[in-house]
Structure 1
């Protein structure tokens, strides 16, 4: 009989060059699921990404530290225990300008794909 659950003990570690640790537990890179991706992230102090306008909804839950979001023209800071949903086709920038690492869970629907993130060039 086929098991009706999957335990993920070996997430896909996404290669990065900015000190951020991304471990995708479910999603395109791990199990080919295009509907949802779930990743455990650790963003070092001083980390930031360019603005992007993703073609997916992104939910973020902060485990430790703080994370800054610039959504359209509004700056929001979330702390441990808080969460946010950012709707697809919203211009956003993610960063950690604080003096401690930030650990969080990111869930994207449909799944995160570099082809859907629409990052802007660095200025």
Structure 2
């Protein structure tokens, strides 16, 4: 009989070169689920990504620290306990220009894929 649940004990740790920790618990890299990805992340102080226009919705919940979002030219700063939903097809940049690291959960619908993120050079 097939189990009706899956406990994730070994998330996929995405290799990065920018000091950011990405642990995908569910998604393309872990359970081949292309519908949703759920990841625990820790962005170090000074971290940033290039602008992107993803083909997925992204929900972010801040656990600790602060994170900066530039969404269609508007700068938004979230702190622990706050969350945001960014619609697919919206130009966004994520960063942590603050003194302390930022820990957060990111959920993407459909699942994060490098082919769907559309990062700028």
TM-score, scaled relative to structure 1: 0.98
Q: SS of the residue aligned with 1:30?
A: coil
Q: Aligned ranges for residues 1-123 of structure 1 at < 5 Å? A: 1-121=1-121
CA deviations over 1:17-38 (Å, ceiling 9, x no partner): 0000000000000000000000
Question: Normalization by structure 2: what TM-score?
Answer: 0.99
Unaligned runs of 5+ in 1: none
- What is the CA–CA distance in structure 2 between the aligned matches of 1:111 and 1:2, rounded to whole Å? 24
Gaps of 5+ in 2: none
Q: CA deviation at 1:2?
A: 1.5
- Where 2:115 maps in the other structure, the secondary structure is helix
Distance in 1, matches of 2:67 and 2:25, equals: 21
Q: CA deviation at 1:45?
A: 0.1
Aligned CA-pair RMSD: 0.3
Dislocated runs of 4+, deviation >3 Å: none
Find the residue that maps to 2:94 and give its secondary structure. strand
